[in-house]
Structure 1
Amino acid sequence: MTTPSSTGTAPARFLLLGDSHAGPIGRAATAAGVPFVGGPVGSGRDFNVGFHDVRDGALVFRDAAVQERHRGFLAELAVTDLGQLRVPLVSTFGLSVHFFATGANWRIYRAGDGAFPAGFLTSELFDGIVRAMARGALAFYRHALGLGLRVLAVLPPQRVPGMSDPLVFAAAQETIRRALDALGVELVDVRARATDGTGRQRAAFCEPDDPIHGNLAFGRLIVADLLARGL
């Protein structure tokens, strides 16, 4: 799921850097005529740990193809480094939490009856494990904020594929949300509008025949939120 960068003739309002969850955001912005640069640069599993370095103060993605796309986006904005951005950064890195919630990863923490011990999903141990799983993404956001950028992170569609545990998904998402909030990242959270009474993504905002992604309508909710924030 990809989308090309889109600026039109008007100045870009934001740089979009993310995984496949950035696709609906880019498509919705393009459909609405909202100028931006960027889009998805890879799969969510690739942007949790060990995906970038900071060399001489500049962010460098370790994957050559991702770095090439990143440099291309910066060139469209007439800058050579994130620190020179004059527009906000919008990202989905570290927020494909269904990877953190993969059921097999958590079996050793379950009791004999298959349930988690009381308080485990809100414990310091759980919090520390999830933060470690997302340490590269958190470092990315910390670096961007350190450059003085306005940084917004978009919470994912509330969709839990069969390989993932719904309870871990919700708890891991809350851990990442708190971590980003503590850093000073603005959280784009449209759950109140996109979910049903169970907290799951409503069908109207799901990509058909796809267990993970949101659709164009979901992207429109996010773009509307960005515009309401002044982007």
Structure 2
Amino acid sequence: MRTPSLTTTAPARFLLLGDSHAGPIGHAAQRAGIPFRGGPIGPGRDFTDSFFTTRDTPAGSDVVFRSVEAEEHYRRVLGELGIAALAGLSIPLVATFGFCAHFVALRENWDLYRDRSGLIPPAFLSSSLFDDIVRAIVRDALAFYTHAVGLGLHVLAVMPPQRVPGQADPVVFMAAQERIRLAVTEIGADVVDLRQRTTGPDGLQRPELCEADDEVHGNLAFGRIILAELLERGL
């Protein structure tokens, strides 16, 4: 799901970096005529562990993505913004890294912790061990947010659509994304959590906000809700 930067001469209002969940945000901004740069630079599974390194440059501290495609896209976007490093960013950074909780919640990853009935005990999901495991899985995403916040950037981390594909455990999904939310909040990023506005009584994404024929993504309507929230927060 690749969303190009909006083509306009107006100054960009924000830099968008992330996985495919960034797509609806970019599409909504395009439709609304809100200038931005960036978009999805790879699949969610690529942005949990070991996806970037940091380096110091004459232009300031920067990140280098290990994926050739992601790095090329990132460099192109920096060029469009007229900067040579992340440290030079003067507009908010909107990101979705680390919030692909359905990868964290893959059923097979948690079989060791199931009881005899095949369920994950609530006590385990609220334990420090579970917290440690989740943070370890998304450690590079947390490191990215730590680096960006440390540069003094206004970082807005967008939580994912509440959609759980069949290969993921819904209970683990809900618990894991909450641990990720808390970890990113502790770092100092501004977490965009729209669950109360986008879910039904079961806690899952309302059908009208889901991408058709897709188990994971939100649609344009969902992106518009996120965009409205970002604008309310000063973009």
Same fold (TM over 0.5): yes
Count of equivalent residues = 231
Deviations 1:180-229 (A, max 9, x none): 11111101111111110111000110000000000000000000000001
Residue 175 of structure 2: which of 171, 177, 202 is its match?
171
3-state SS of paired residue (1:21): helix
SS of the equivalent of 2:35 reads coil
1:77 aligned partner: 81
Question: Is 1:143 equivalent to 2:171 in the alignment?
Answer: no
SS at match of 1:153: strand
In the alignment, the residues of structure 2 paired with residue 172 and residue 183 of structure 1 have an alpha-carbon distance, to the nearest angstrom, of 17
Say if 2:96 is the partner of 1:92.
yes
Q: Relative to structure 1, is the Cα distance of residues 118 and 205 closer, same or farther in structure 2, using a 3 angstrom cutoff? A: closer
Q: CA shift at 1:2, angstroms?
A: 1.3
Letter in 2 for 1:92: T
Deviation of residue 58 (structure 1)?
2.1
Query: Tell me, which stretches of 5 or more residues in structure 2 are unaligned?
Result: none
Which residue of structure 2 lines up, in the alignment, with residue 44 of structure 1?
44
Runs of 5+ unmatched residues, structure 1: none
Equivalent position amino acid for 1:189 in 2: D
TM-score by length of 1: 0.98
Q: What's the Cα RMSD here?
A: 0.8
CA distance in 2, matches of 1:117, 1:86: 45
Aligned residue number for residue 228 of structure 1: 232
% identical equivalent positions: 59
Structure 1 letter corresponding to 2:11: P
Residue in structure 2 matched with residue 32 of structure 1 by the alignment? 32
Query: Which stretch has the larger CA shift, 117-126 or 194-203?
Result: 117-126
Distance 1:196 1:146, change over 3 A: same
- Structure 2 length-normalised TM: 0.97
Moved more, 173-182 or 54-63: 54-63
Q: Partner amino acid for 2:51?
A: F
Letter of the structure 1 residue corresponding to residue 67 of structure 2? D
The answer for the alignment partner of 1:119 in structure 2 is: 123
Aligned to 2:142, the other structure's residue is in SS state helix
For 1:44 and 1:173, locate their aligned partners in 2 and report how far apart those are by CA, in whole Å.
14
Distance 1:58 1:186 in 2: 20
